[in-house]
Amino acid sequence: MPPTPPKATASRTPKPSPVEDVDASSIPDDLQFTSSVPDAEALAARTVSFKIDNQVLKAVQPTKGALTLLRSSLSSNATESDRIWSVINFFNVVLTPESKEWLNRYINSPRFDDDVLGDVMTGLATHWGAEDLLGAPDADASKGSGPNRAQRRAAAKDD
């Protein structure tokens, strides 16, 4: 057998680090920010229990920012895949780790009912006073399923 030639090794140039150690005193005060992490008591106050098929699950009320992001991903201008992702993301954001595990098993079981997920989202949004998150179905029905803003702009260009 002929000898195996040695493998060529490429020399790699190290990539610069996006975060560098900087003396904090050199950063202006108006560019220094802090965030607060809720303590266990505050987190417990934002936690609500609910049931799916006699299984008790727990959800933590999302922040206003998380609700805003979710609302935008459920908008009428969102694609179908964005809307599906937003439902999955909603449960990923609000459920406790144990509840996520159970929900994953439920989704993969033969008894899975996708209408239940919509009912849970609606129920939690109502409980948290965020009904506008999912939009008002009756208001959408009264408007009819007309074109969205991008479709109206495209039609206006054609005129």
Structure token digits, residue 103 = 């929900």
Give pLDDT tens digits for 102-141.
999 999 999 998 888 888 888 898 888 887 766 544 444 3
**DSSP-assigned beta bridge partners for residue 95:** 59
Kindly report the pTM of this predicted structure.
0.56
- Listed as ranges, residues in the chain with pLDDT below 70 are 1-22, 24, 36-38, 133-153, 159
Let me know if 57 is exposed, middle or buried by CB neighbors in 10 A (0-12, 13-18, 19+): buried
At 32 the three-state DSSP class reads coil
Question: What values do phi and psi take at 23, rounded to 5?
Answer: -65, 120
